[in-house]
């Protein structure tokens, strides 16, 4: 029998195979160490370079300034052998480059600001630029003319605009007569007006709407005529039973209620003969109308209407729009009329275009008349057709709010009153408009030997009665 080796393969006495992987490991290790050292050296060099500044400056230079150098590392000035006279054709940067004299070098280092000021003084147009800057002309708020006694001799002024590197000259644009100086101080002081009371105005007899002149609807209490024929216009109008001793003018301010301070100025600074119209969008409509009537002003409501193209000019959710169905426009009208306040009529939006279609507007004008209200037109154009119950102003101040322009329009109303015996002025709300109208109304004083002024101011209701009487 043959003997066999029965030693198991995993026995410690069994022969082990040769390990070839050790040779490969010792061959790769030196290559890895060399590569790692090379990469480390490159990283160290980059780190050392990052600690150095990108540009080294000569701190001994008189123009060195650390703060400005960080912003602009390039030196802004250089020393030349002699002074260089800048010409008109040279650039601004070239004109700034110049040599320092021996006297200037003795003064020591200059800051960057001092160097710029010293160099800019030699710039050809600098004197004109300084003169123009000293004038501090504000084109959005022109300067009023000073009295002739204080006015210096007229000089030809030139306004200098610096564009790019050259000074461009142009003649000054004529400035309109606006508010400036002592005129600015005469504007209504809104903070002091707010808590004051109108000493002249007597409260109207009716402050709040009367129940028998209202009809309930889903959109509020809408004005109606009473059973005995009384109209809201008659009940809510300012009493004026006397006959004016001279030609008279009615004044209406519309667009109130949108701005608190301007509305307060109108309530407490204007004469009680001035009628006031309020926006139906005002959040404080009831309070404003009540306060106006307590101050002696009769009140109206603004009627939002389409102005120009829709929807580029949207009168809002209460506005009458040409493209809407008649029922929708009627609903919007009732929402406006349903504001629970006392008013004698409605005032159309300035320069409205809704009434251009006469057949469409006729139904709304008839409803306003049947409810005992008056309708104030939104234009002073005499060529436009007018409805039987509509009042068209002779002068309507809607824009061009320059003092001289407003005075010119008011003077035209005065001439109309002297010629026809009466006139109607309507104006949109603006502080300058309130101020000029207030001054204009106070300017009419009795002439010598007369107890009454050349122009009498009456509430709009009196003017409406006289005008509508002639149409019947």
Domain definitions of the chain by residue range: 57-134+158-173, 183-471
428/396 Cα distance (integer angstroms): 8
- Stretch 351-367: mean pLDDT, rounded? 87
pLDDT at residue 158 is higher than 60: no
Burial letters 38-74, b for 16+ CB under 10 A, else e: eeeeeeeeeeeeeeeeeeeeeeeebbebeeebeeeee
| Confidence label for 40 from pLDDT (cuts 50, 70 and 90) | confident
Q: Where are the alpha helices (DSSP H) in 295-357?
A: 326-337
Nearest to 454 by CA among 240, 249, 242, 247: 247
pLDDT at residue 256 is higher than 90: yes
Q: Between 200 and 289, whose confidence is greater?
A: 289
- Tell me the HSE value of 405 on the side-chain side, using a 13 A CA sphere: 14
Q: Which residues contact 398 (CB under 8 A, 6 or more apart)?
A: 350, 351, 427, 428
Q: Between 309 and 268, whose confidence is greater?
A: 268
Give me the percent of the chain exceeding a pLDDT of 90: 45
- Stretch 344-353: mean pLDDT, rounded? 93
| Confidence label for 151 from pLDDT (cuts 50, 70 and 90) | very low
pLDDT at 34: 82
57/321 Cα distance (integer angstroms): 72
Q: Between 96 and 349, whose confidence is greater?
A: 349
pLDDT at residue 294 is higher than 70: yes
- Stretch 72-84: mean pLDDT, rounded? 48
pLDDT at residue 30 is higher than 90: no
- Stretch 146-151: mean pLDDT, rounded? 48
341/105 Cα distance (integer angstroms): 82
Tokens of 381: 């154009």
35-44, 79-88, 196-205, 463-472: least confidently modelled range = 79-88
Give me the percent of the chain exceeding a pLDDT of 70: 63
pLDDT tens for each residue of 4-14: 555 555 555 45
| Confidence label for 211 from pLDDT (cuts 50, 70 and 90) | very high
Tell me if residue 116 falls in helix, strand or coil: helix
Please provide the average confidence, as pLDDT, over all residues in the chain.
76
108-122, 269-283, 288-302, 338-352: least confidently modelled range = 108-122
pLDDT at residue 77 is higher than 60: no
Q: Between 161 and 202, whose confidence is greater?
A: 202
Q: Do 84 and 98 form a contact (C-beta atoms < 8 A)?
A: yes
pLDDT at residue 203 is higher than 90: yes
- Stretch 120-141: mean pLDDT, rounded? 51
CATH number of 183-471: 3.20.20.370
- In 10 A of CB 277, how many CB atoms? 27
- Stretch 365-394: mean pLDDT, rounded? 90
- Stretch 133-161: mean pLDDT, rounded? 47
1/215 Cα distance (integer angstroms): 135
Q: Which residue has the tokens 């000089």?
A: 155
pLDDT at 121: 59
| Confidence label for 91 from pLDDT (cuts 50, 70 and 90) | very low
Nearest to 95 by CA among 77, 82, 108: 77
Reported pTM: 0.60
325/197 Cα distance (integer angstroms): 46
């Amino acid at each position: 029998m043959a003997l066999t080796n029965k030693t198991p393969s995993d026995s410690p006495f069994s022969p082990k195979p040769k390990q070839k992987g050790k040779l490969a490991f010792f061959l790769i290790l030196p290559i890895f160490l060399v590569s790692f050292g090379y990469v480390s050296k490159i990283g160290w060099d980059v780190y050392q370079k990052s600690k150095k500044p990108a540009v080294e400056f000569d701190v001994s230079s008189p123009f060195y300034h650390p703060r400005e150098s960080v912003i602009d590392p390039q030196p802004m000035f250089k020393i030349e052998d002699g002074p260089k006279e800048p010409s008109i054709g040279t650039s601004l940067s070239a004109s700034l480059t110049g040599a320092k004299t021996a006297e200037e070098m003795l003064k020591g280092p200059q800051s960057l600001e001092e160097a710029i000021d010293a160099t800019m003084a030699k710039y050809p147009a600098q004197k004109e630029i300084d003169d123009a800057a000293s004038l501090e002309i504000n084109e959005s708020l022109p300067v009023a003319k000073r009295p002739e006694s204080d006015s210096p001799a007229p000089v030809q002024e030139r306004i200098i605009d610096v564009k790019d590197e050259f000074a461009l000259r142009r003649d000054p644009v004529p400035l309109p007569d606006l508010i400036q100086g002592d005129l600015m101080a005469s504007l209504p002081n809104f903070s002091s007006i707010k808590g004051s009371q109108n000493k002249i105005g007597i409260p109207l007899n009716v402050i709040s709407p009367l129940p028998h002149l209202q009809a309930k609807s889903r959109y509020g209490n809408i004005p109606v005529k009473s059973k005995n024929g009384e109209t809201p216009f008659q009940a809510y109008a300012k009493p004026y039973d006397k006959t004016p001793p001279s030609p008279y003018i009615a004044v209406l301010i519309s667009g109130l209620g949108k701005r608190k301070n301007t509305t307060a100025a109108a309530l407490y600074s204007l004469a009680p003969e001035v009628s006031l119209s309020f926006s139906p969008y005002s959040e404080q409509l009831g309070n404003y109308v009540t306060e106006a009537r307590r101050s002696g002003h009769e009140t109206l409501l603004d009627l939002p209407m389409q102005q120009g193209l829709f929807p580029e000019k949207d009168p809002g959710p209460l506005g009458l729009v040409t493209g809407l169905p008649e029922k929708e426009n009627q609903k919007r009208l009732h929402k406006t009329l349903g504001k629970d306040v006392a008013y004698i009529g409605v005032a159309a939006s300035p320069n409205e275009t809704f009434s251009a279609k006469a057949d469409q507007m006729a139904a709304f004008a008839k409803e306003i008349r049947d409810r005992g209200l008056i309708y104030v037109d939104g234009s002073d154009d005499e060529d436009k057709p007018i409805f039987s119950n509509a009042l068209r102003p002779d002068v309507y101040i809607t824009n061009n709010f320059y003092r001289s322009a407003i005075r010119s329009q008011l003077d035209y109303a005065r001439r109309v009153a002297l010629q026809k015996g009466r006139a109607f002025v309507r104006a949109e709300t603006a502080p300058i408009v309130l101020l000029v109208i207030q001054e204009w109304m106070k300017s009419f004083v009795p002439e010598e030997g007369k107890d009454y002024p050349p122009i009498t101011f009456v509430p709009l209701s009196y003017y409406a009665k006289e005008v509508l009487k002639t149409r019947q």
